[in-house]
Amino acid sequence: MEDKFTVKMQIDNFSLQQICLSGQCFRMKQEDEGAGRYSLIAGDKYLEIEQQGNECTFYCTPDVFENFWKDYFDLDRDYADCIAQINPRDTYLVNAAAFGSGIRILRQDLWEMIVTFLISQQNNIVRIRRCIQNICEAYGEEKLDSRGRVYYGFPKPEALAGLDEDALKACNLGYRSKYVVRAARSVVSGKIDLEAVKQMSYKKAREELLGLFGVGEKVADCICLFALHHLQAFPMDTHMIQALDTHYKRGFPNRRYKDIKGIMQQYIFYFELFGNK
């Protein structure tokens, strides 16, 4: 590709592999086995990225990078500074952060995260990816990527609100079909105002999201963290409960990390999944 369609940057504390595996986004994949090239669909936007060490090449125009992807990957935040705030006596968290030091908290679309984490309940990553691919192919807008290949944008609430509550079972969502359809109806009817939620504090946004059918505390916190970038959110699942029971019998030191708890959560979650064997 020509230079005007690429952006090259040296980025510390940034790993495409770790971000892809961190359980935040499910439309990112490795393009070539063993290579550092990944593709990503966010909303209706498509990106290919290549990484060698800390040198990253974003295959997009500088304008698109500045106006969308730079913020999406949270590139203005100094993650080394976040890691430096960890209590050096907390060897578990020090090791977890070192292991997952390339993770970034992505700034993703609110509607997409509502649907994604409704689907994620009692589900595994492979199935979540398949479910999301299915609903995008069935109800998303058809697009062409930079190589002329077809991909599908994420379906808008309007595309799902008129469906029968069980219609998405055909996309392998199972009982979660009604959660997604009802959420779409809530958005289209104005029962929940996504633009208003984006402006709310963590506490208020979480409360608003809990009003959606099928959204529990863990899902609400995932949406707050991965869409609204409320870094106070600390999603709790079985991996996190186990980690806290083992390493923080007196409770997690919330006060120390109150403004970056979500980043610490991702280090712990990733370490429990892949490193703490």
| Predicted confidence (pLDDT) per residue in 116-133, tens digit | 999 999 888 899 999 999
Give, in order, the Cα–Cα distances in Å from 66 to each of 26, 31, 58, 94, 115.
23, 24, 11, 32, 27
Spatial separation of the C-alpha atoms in residues 226 and 106, rounded to whole Å: 6
pLDDT digits (tens, 9 = 90+) for 163-206: 999 999 999 999 999 999 999 999 999 999 999 999 999 999 99
pTM of the predicted model as reported, rounded to 2 decimal places: 0.96
Catalytic residue positions? Answer: 218
Tell me what pLDDT residue 146 has.
78
110-226 CATH fold: Endonuclease III; domain 1 (1.10.340)
On the question of pLDDT at 226 being above 60, the answer is yes
Spatial separation of the C-alpha atoms in residues 217 and 210, rounded to whole Å: 7
Query: Percentage of residues in the chain with pLDDT exceeding 70?
Result: 98
Residue 26, classed as helix, strand or coil, is coil
- In this structure, are residues 5 and 61 in contact, taking their beta carbons and an 8 Å threshold? yes
On the question of pLDDT at 2 being above 60, the answer is no
For the 3-76 domain, the top CATH level (class) is: alpha beta
Tell me what pLDDT residue 276 has.
64
Tell me what pLDDT residue 30 has.
92
pLDDT digits (tens, 9 = 90+) for 7-30: 999 999 999 999 999 999 999 999
Q: Where along the chain do its domains lie?
A: 3-76, 110-226
Compute how many other C-beta atoms are within 10 angstroms of the C-beta atom of residue 209.
27
Q: Per-residue confidence at 35, pLDDT binned at 50, 70, 90?
A: confident
Which residue blocks in 34-168 are alpha helix, DSSP H? 62-64, 70-72, 79-84, 91-99, 110-119, 125-139, 157-161
pLDDT digits (tens, 9 = 90+) for 39-95: 999 999 999 999 999 999 999 999 999 999 999 999 999 999 999 999 999 999 999
On the question of pLDDT at 1 being above 80, the answer is no
